[in-house]
Structure 1
Amino acid sequence: MAQIIEQNSENHVEKSSAPSDSTAAGDDVSAVQPSADTSPMGAALPSPLPDATTALPAHLERLADRARGYVEAASSANTRKAYASDWKHFTGWCRRQGLAHMPPDPQTVGLYITACASGAATADRKPHSVMTIERRLSAITWNYVQRGTPLDRKDRHIATVLAGIRNTHAAPPRQKEAVLPEHLIAMLETLDRGTLRGLRDRAMLLVGFAGGLRRSEIVGLDCDRDQTEDGRGWIEILDKGLLVTLRGKTGWREVEIGRGSSDATCPVVAVETWIKFARVAKGPLFRRVRDQGRDVGPDRLNDREVARLVKKAALAAGIRGDLSEGERAEKFSGHSLRAGLASSAEVDERYVQKQLGHASAEMTRKYQRRRDRFRINLTKASGL
């Protein structure tokens, strides 16, 4: 195996390119992807603490820096970026309409969400979905709170308009396609086992599927406990499987990933192989492969790379060949791995619910794409 790795590493040549849905997961795109903390949007986020330039007694400056770090940790980087983008969208609309966005005015916000629903808030005249409007409203509310000027969302100019938007425009959610076991096996066959990138991508797909993990949980894993500040969990390799400890919105949870029936599809073997040949001993588990595929860097993968990997492998494997390439790319995402486990695991539903970390069985059922909806027949049970 080592000889295969070395031989392919010498001959493997890749061109670095800007990130796109067709980019291989982990290609050297870090240079063109600013992080949430360094982007203009991330820098514009308000804080309830004094700005770094505000004069503080010398003995409190370090404490203030630590407090700002805790403020950042109160929400994920993706949430902060989304909220900053939504706030920018709202304030830009206010400016174009000749309206002031400060202090908060429920009537102005009500007009804004009306414009979003009707398509008048953007140049392409495309109406926003109800989900997008609700997220924008949450972002606006959060930004006002951080500025010390709370917005009253229960005001009739907002609450009544939003209720009308929901009643008029609400539609069933568009679910991503589930990656089923036969799909996953075909996707694994498209990956080159003789390269570091191929070994890493196999491990990510198998761990993501078998653990029912979110894409942020996959890339947030460390090799062991308390190794990085930005880690969202860690792994422990045991005789019977892989124990994954994760930090979620509601606290810590453990996910058990058992060994597979064969080495070719075993997530534990895939992780062990990646660790061995990538020589990853400490820090982020899944990292960028750099230097044209010959070396593994120290940087953690961005969670968008998981979505790109799933899309690319699904397309290469020819899954849902009845659809166009564009439609297939739209159907698959990192979420497809979670949906695949929920749909294919032939066990009691409560075990699937625990694995996915859902608070209710109803949420788990939303992930199940091919469950027998009529297994319990109340019509016959009632005597008809």
Structure 2
Amino acid sequence: MTIEPVNEGPSGSVTASSSTEPVVPEDVAARIAGAVQRSRAENTRRAYASDWDRFVTWCFSHGRNALPAHPMVVAAYLIDAADTLTEDGERAYAPATLSRWVAALGHHHRRAGHSAPGSHEVVAATLSGIRRDYAANGDRPRRQAAPLLVDDLVTIVTAARQAVTGWASEVLERRDTALLLMGFAGAFRRGDLADLVCGDVSMHRLDGVHVRLRRSKTDQEGEGATRALPFTVSHTSCPPCAWLRWVQVLAAHDTYGRPGVIRLLRNAPPFDGHVCKGAVPRTAVRAPLFRSIRKNGNLSETGLSGSAVPWVIRRRAEQAGYDENVVAQLGGHSLRAGFVTQAVRNGRNAQAIMRQTGHSTAAMIEVYTRENAPLIANAVTDIGL
């Protein structure tokens, strides 16, 4: 018995190619389809499906075949996108977006048994030429989120605590403080934070908090990794303290509901010292760690989305008195970028930084150094001026 090639529909669904030869049993085919779906992260699957639908629509409107697509057709598709302008006269699509489109087309072609058009020289050369044109004209420079350093984090979480006016606002403060301090110390991406469940985090007597990443952007196979968030000298910036204060809220909510949360916070002593050596309450293992919070302080059962992380960062920075121009430069990557930048400024080498960030090469560390810490190891600091 042989397994037939599979074709993909416009949204990435897998179907068997037409043939008189029997295919594998339906239950096996369903498991194969499921494994193929899970071979890539959910966000990647959604993006690839959207990119493929866009290409199919473009090919239909131009009278071209989408599968298999001729390399010249793909090159023309990229040129058309590169020439597309917004109402402000700026390029509508960044080179990185065009590269992702090519990857999506290759993904669909390979799964349908065809060679990837992106491997053809004309497609690769077209992409390279577009990048050069963009660079020559100064179009769509890469936007790197501004990093938040340790002093920034201390300022922001201190302001958040001082802004508490009641139990509802303290629920929000405890969540946001844990999100900020854990996100920074763990050098997490916003998607990493959004995907955490309560069972991923545990207290270690010597190390601090251990956070298990079941999967991340650079770990598509789901091998996982553990990052330690250490105890700190000051309780105000201690990630384990911030985590425990938030977990107390989760446990009270999941056990007693709204009345339990109100009782916990109204009877809580002032946060004037470390609490990270205290007892850790039990929480539902599979429940989202960072959850949405309604205006009245009630916790949602759903997890905080990745897109909400930059909103939290900007709102708290604005509340702390940061200039609106600075706030506009902050984003979900500000915590991870801040960790790398602070570590570089503190003199840590690339290998030590990569052990926490999970970077596979030192190239990105050099990017952070060049953009956010240009005076580190630079002769200009000691030339006698």
Q: TM-score range by the shorter chain?
A: 0.7 to 0.9
User: Which blocks of at least 5 consecutive residues in structure 2 are unaligned?
Assistant: 1-8, 252-282
1:284 CA drift (Å) = 3.3
Contact 2:103–2:118 (CA under 8 A) maintained in structure 1: no
> Per-residue displacement from partner, 1:29-80 (whole Å, max 9, x unpaired)?
xxxxxxxxxxxxx9922337789xxx978xx444443333322221111111
Q: 2:234 aligns with which of 250, 257, 262?
A: 262
| 1:142 maps to amino acid | H
1:131 CA drift (Å) = 1.2
3-state secondary structure, aligned to 1:187: helix
1:300 CA drift (Å) = 2.6
Q: 1:174 aligns with which of 121, 143, 160?
A: 143
3-state secondary structure, aligned to 1:298: strand
1:254 CA drift (Å) = 2.3
Alignment of 1:1-384 (within 5 A): 44-47=11-14, 60-119=25-84, 126-170=91-135, 173-188=142-157, 189-190=159-160, 194-195=167-168, 196-224=171-199, 234-240=200-206, 241-246=208-213, 247-248=215-216, 249-250=218-219, 251-279=223-251, 280-289=283-292, 292-321=295-324, 323=325, 328-329=327-328, 331-345=329-343, 346-349=346-349, 350-368=351-369, 369-373=371-375, 375=377, 377=379
Contact 1:275–1:281 (CA under 8 A) maintained in structure 2: no
Cα distance in 2 for residues equivalent to 1:303 and 1:212: 15
1:312 CA drift (Å) = 2.0
1:115 CA drift (Å) = 0.8
Contact 1:200–1:286 (CA under 8 A) maintained in structure 2: no
1:140 CA drift (Å) = 1.6
Q: Structure 1 pair 124/97, CA: closer, same or farther in 2 (3 Å)?
A: farther
3-state secondary structure, aligned to 2:113: coil
Cα distance in 1 for residues equivalent to 2:327 and 2:174: 24
TM-score by length of 2: 0.73
Q: Structure 1 pair 293/77, CA: closer, same or farther in 2 (3 Å)?
A: farther
Cα distance in 1 for residues equivalent to 2:15 and 2:332: 34
Contact 1:104–1:150 (CA under 8 A) maintained in structure 2: no
Worse-matched range after superposition: 290-299 or 236-245 = 290-299
3-state secondary structure, aligned to 2:14: coil
> Per-residue displacement from partner, 1:222-259 (whole Å, max 9, x unpaired)?
222xxxxxxxxx22211230112223434432211101
Contact 1:223–1:285 (CA under 8 A) maintained in structure 2: yes
Cα distance in 1 for residues equivalent to 2:302 and 2:17: 31
Aligned pairs, how many?
A: 321
TM-score by length of 1: 0.73
Cα distance in 1 for residues equivalent to 2:10 and 2:88: 26
User: Which blocks of at least 5 consecutive residues in structure 1 are unaligned?
Assistant: 1-41, 225-233
Worse-matched range after superposition: 81-90 or 120-129 = 120-129
1:202 CA drift (Å) = 1.3
Number of the residue aligned with 1:17 = none
Worse-matched range after superposition: 119-128 or 207-216 = 119-128
1:210 CA drift (Å) = 0.8
Contact 1:49–1:68 (CA under 8 A) maintained in structure 2: no
| 2:144 maps to amino acid | Q
Runs of 4+ in 1 over 6 A off after TM superposition: 48-51, 120-125
Q: Structure 1 pair 342/291, CA: closer, same or farther in 2 (3 Å)?
A: closer
1:134 CA drift (Å) = 0.8
Contact 2:288–2:302 (CA under 8 A) maintained in structure 1: no
Cα distance in 2 for residues equivalent to 1:142 and 1:123: 33
> Per-residue displacement from partner, 1:7-28 (whole Å, max 9, x unpaired)?
xxxxxxxxxxxxxxxxxxxxxx
Pairwise CA RMSD: 3.3
